[in-house]
Structure 1
Amino acid sequence: MTNSTAIDDADPPIPPESAERGSDFARLSRRITQAGLLDRRPGHYAARLGLVAASFVGGWAVFFAVGDSWYQLLVAAFLAVVFAQIGLVAHDLAHRQVFRSRRSSELAGLVAGNLAIGMSYGWWMDKHTRHHANPNHEDHDPDVAPDFLIWSHEQAAESRGLPRLLGRRQAFLFFPLLTLEGFNLHVSSVRALTRPTTRNRAAEASLLAVHAALYLGALFTVLSPGKAVAFLLLHQAIFGVYLGCTFAPNHKGMPMLRGSEKLDFLRRQVLTSRNVRGGRVLDTVLGGLNYQIEHHLFPSMPMPNLRRAQPIVQAYCQELGVDYLETGIVSSYAQALRHLHDVGASLRAGSPAPG
């Protein structure tokens, strides 16, 4: 599958002269544009990218300074957080929140994704594009495909094999399974690059190979084999849990779409998304994805502008009578886990597997 450019086109400009007589989204887009919330924030991103890069370099400098010691497990935890922050930066690059140019965004994304953290930027961008186009749609959103977990009663009824086995207790297994998400990202990246139709396949594969050589070379050169394996397992586990906890509150437990169900763009994005309340610390920890509704409506909006857009979008949804869900961080996880537990009820009751 070729890498789609739908992210680039998901947030089309609305001509001001036609906005008032256009769709519900067109009228909202005009308000957002007039507020200047789609304007670039170069100062913010210069500071953010500088801090993340300094943390990355500093973390590895400490790694080499500490040497063959079990204190390296603290370094592993720190670098796991840094890797996740780089992943969030790659997310903003994919949405062209940082650079206006597609080429600049792609080059920076390859460095951040493939070289720095070992995740295929092209594979992730293709997957995330399809998610944005059809959030929580069972037939089109890869984030709710029943690979390991099942997300709806229909998927439970149709499940086989491992998803059916895990589905019985998936709410309890959710966070333990997130410890494998970091490894899953690496494996999925390599698998995607085996497809001959993938764009920039040679460059992506080369950068992934360089990342693997430098990462594993550093671990097994500086550390004894046992410590190296412990570092790798802890680092990738925390990395996976962090990323999973960043994306899990946004859509899990929200309405699912199936088949030919159709909603207009605004309702499709708002009704399937959940915001998470919090201050600027939470904004930093979650990379602004706590404003999931605003992000899905305006994917190219710079992260620091999402906080300012939130009251505008919420008020507009109230005008239209469109449900707008915002909750606390703990409640968001609780809602997601309750949904997973409810979906698995039929499997716990011993419903027959499909023929």
Structure 2
Amino acid sequence: MARSAVEARGSDFARLARRINEEGLLDRRPAYYAVRIGAWLLAFAAGVALFVWAGDTWWQIAVAVYFAIVFAQFGFVSHDLGHLQVFRRRRPSSLVGRLLGNLGVGLGWDWWTDKHTRHHANPNHEEHDPDVSPSVIVWSRDQLAESRGLPRFVAKYQAILFFPILTLEAWHLHIASFKALLRPNARQRWLEAALLTAHFVWYFGLIFSVLSPVKAIVFIIVHQGLFGLYLGCTFAPNHKGMPTITGETTLDYLRKQVLTSRNVRGGVFVDIALGGLNYQIEHHLFPNMPTPHLRRAQPIVRAYCAELGVDYCETGLLASYGQALRHLHEVGAPLRVKALG
């Protein structure tokens, strides 16, 4: 592509950004986040009180479900903090992020923010986006051809196994958070290690001090399984089944973000349930835009994409899962055909 054409396309995002700025949609919303964080902290405190009050009973399984929701919401707020949506400066963002992430839910702040930044820089790029790394799930035929071991074993029926695998996602995040502390370039290694350790001390200590060993183990399995499933079901609609990228690309920033992302339609309930990530296109274009502004930005971005002739993918929640699962099923098809042959 000629240099002048690339430069002309590259200016498309600048024009959109001016429209967004004129609407004040990048302005911080401190009152909103104060209420949101405060509400979920109260929900967490209420859950702890309920857990202690209920005592050693199988009704605690319902409390495990409740805590899966609260933990996921803490994760969503940590996500916003990582994008500097809450505070303009990195120091307070990191402080609150580590308290909610490391101490609150057992998720390493520096490891996750580094991983997520790389995802935003190259969404759905098979060589650069860690979220489409074929560690277990295989996302494309190219990855399938090179897969070995567990990914190749799973790939044959990965559409069926996808949601069951997500029940292990929370444990994956916990383990990866600790493993990241062993890297030579790990930042705030001892602080992160202390907060992660403190999380599991209070978490296991609270559970085993109230429940008998069998009930405690079942509680942990249910809670962590649903926590991982909830997070996975939140992130799965965003990019899975959308076009992937390999090698060098001539796509400009706007097209790279829009064409690899999918929005999920829904009202206030979906906004809360998915932490605002259902506006994935707007979020990828403007990562530091506060969550409550994404809904207002959507019609502007959608209309602008229509002006440019850029595909803007938007679907319902169940349909988004269907698209992702069909894609995974199609990727694994050669292995199923080979097995039948």
* Same fold, judged at TM 0.5 (above): yes
Give the alignment of 1:201-212 within 5 angstroms: 201-212=189-200
1:43, CA displacement in angstroms? 1.5
Structure 1's unaligned 5+ residue stretches are 1-19
* Correspondence for 1:166: 154
* Correspondence for 1:86: 74
* Correspondence for 1:48: 36
| RMSD (Å) for aligned C-alpha atoms | 1.2
* Correspondence for 2:310: 322
1:298, CA displacement in angstroms? 0.1
For residues 214-269 of structure 1, the C-alpha deviation after alignment (integer angstroms, 9 at most, x for no partner) is 11111111111000000000000000000000000000000000012331000000
1:140, CA displacement in angstroms? 0.1
Structure 2's unaligned 5+ residue stretches are 1-7
The 1-side partners of 2:265 and 2:69 are apart by 21
> Size of the alignment, in residue pairs?
332
Relative to the length of structure 2, the TM-score reads 0.96
* Correspondence for 1:263: 251
Matched, 1:39 2:27: yes
1:350, CA displacement in angstroms? 2.2
Choose from 307, 321, 324 the match for 1:336. 324
Return the letter of the residue paired with 1:228. Answer: A
The 1-side partners of 2:276 and 2:104 are apart by 21
Counterpart contact for 2:264–2:316, Cα < 8 Å: yes
Matched, 1:132 2:115: no
1:325, CA displacement in angstroms? 0.6
Comparing both structures, which one devotes a greater share of its residues to helix? 2
* Correspondence for 1:350: 338
* Correspondence for 2:142: 154
1:97, CA displacement in angstroms? 0.5
1:65, CA displacement in angstroms? 1.1
Choose from 61, 67, 88 the match for 1:100. 88
* Correspondence for 1:76: 64
- Deviation >4 Å, runs of 4+: none
Return the letter of the residue paired with 1:281. Answer: F
* Correspondence for 2:174: 186
* Correspondence for 1:141: 129
* Correspondence for 1:249: 237
Choose from 88, 111, 119 the match for 1:123. 111
Identity, % of aligned positions: 63
* Correspondence for 1:292: 280
1:21, CA displacement in angstroms? 11
* Correspondence for 1:60: 48
Relative to the length of structure 1, the TM-score reads 0.92
Return the letter of the residue paired with 1:122. Answer: D
Q: Flag the 1:21–1:263 CA change in 2: closer, same or farther, 3 A.
A: closer
The 1-side partners of 2:322 and 2:55 are apart by 41
* Correspondence for 1:8: none
The 2-side partners of 1:258 and 1:144 are apart by 11
The 1-side partners of 2:257 and 2:228 are apart by 26
The 2-side partners of 1:144 and 1:220 are apart by 37
The 2-side partners of 1:22 and 1:269 are apart by 13
* Correspondence for 2:4: none
The 2-side partners of 1:37 and 1:241 are apart by 31
1:342, CA displacement in angstroms? 0.3
Return the letter of the residue paired with 1:301. Answer: M
1:22, CA displacement in angstroms? 6.9
Q: Secondary structure at the match of 2:193?
A: helix
The 1-side partners of 2:29 and 2:157 are apart by 44
